[in-house]
Amino acid sequence: MSDFIKRALTAVLFVIILLAGINLHPIGFIATFLGIALLATYEFYGLIKKANASPQFVTGMIAVVVLFAAAILHCYCGKIILYQLLLLLVFLTFIIELYRKKDNPFANIAYTIMGVVYVALPFALLIYLVFLNGINHFSPDIVMGIFILIWVNDTGAYLVGVNFGKHRLFERISPKKSWEGSIGGGIATLLTAWGCAYFSQELSLILWISVGLIVAVVGGLGDLVESLFKRSIKVKDSGSMLPGHGGILDRFDAIFIVSPVVYVFLEIVKEFSK
């Protein structure tokens, strides 16, 4: 099978799974992103081993599941007890490290917690975004819109950058990214955000444009953060789970920063609009 066919098949399957997971049912939504979060966290910990550290795989994976359960319980019942349990689990990580007899214990603890915060938490926050207008109102439009905006931003930046890019954006980390590409991707993203407001009334036009602006600015930074991480441990791709496309982290690098920023922004707006 040629690389092109492999990439095309992987891309089609990836998009189908993601679209179905986001739109069909709340349970499917939660299961989809829990699965992605677990795979991404596992991949992250695998990369960390190349940095001469030994994160606590089992502890981290349990923390991811508890994090999603906490988000679900909080959304449906308003209870935060599982978040309190998660807090205890974080500190339990320190105690577990006492008995592991591994080198670099503090790095092991830090990377274990980082996997949950940097990788899993952004996916868990999507649960709050899909129920932004109440637990009885499943609104996948917002999350779907965020992913569309990220894809448009990436595609626009690539096409403009390839054809017109001359001034490097962050050459130390990503030599191919240009200011021209970033600006082109940002314009395409804002235009798409305007279109999202036309097709979805979950957010107002101003809020959709604001989300588009966040994606245009923060999405590119999320990409650079992941590139910085990979460059620091001297790897090209985060993994090989997606044939022809690298790893899970490579495909969701923007969402790791976009999701928390959009969540906080919309929560602040909701608080001040009461």
- List pLDDT tens digits, range 67-98: 999 999 999 888 999 999 999 999 999 999 99
- List pLDDT tens digits, range 48-59: 988 889 999 999
- What is the distance between the alpha carbons of residues 84 and 58, in angstroms, rounded to a whole number? 19
Where are the alpha helices (H) located in 50-199, listed in sequence order?
Answer: 57-77, 81-98, 105-114, 121-130, 141-164, 179-199
Domain boundaries in the chain?
A: 26-137, 139-274
3-state secondary structure of 170: strand
Mean pLDDT of 216-243: 80
How many helices (H) does the chain have, and how many strands (E)? 12, 2
17 touches 32 (CB < 8 A): yes
| pLDDT confidence bin for 233, thresholds 50/70/90 | confident
Does residue 32 surpass a pLDDT of 70?
yes
In one-letter notation, the amino acid at residue 180 is: E
Instruction: State the pLDDT at residue 54.
Output: 93
93 touches 73 (CB < 8 A): no
pTM score: 0.92
Q: Which of 192, 190, 187 is nearest to 161 (CA)?
A: 187
Instruction: State the pLDDT at residue 5.
Output: 66
Does residue 267 surpass a pLDDT of 70?
yes
Residues counted in the chain: 274
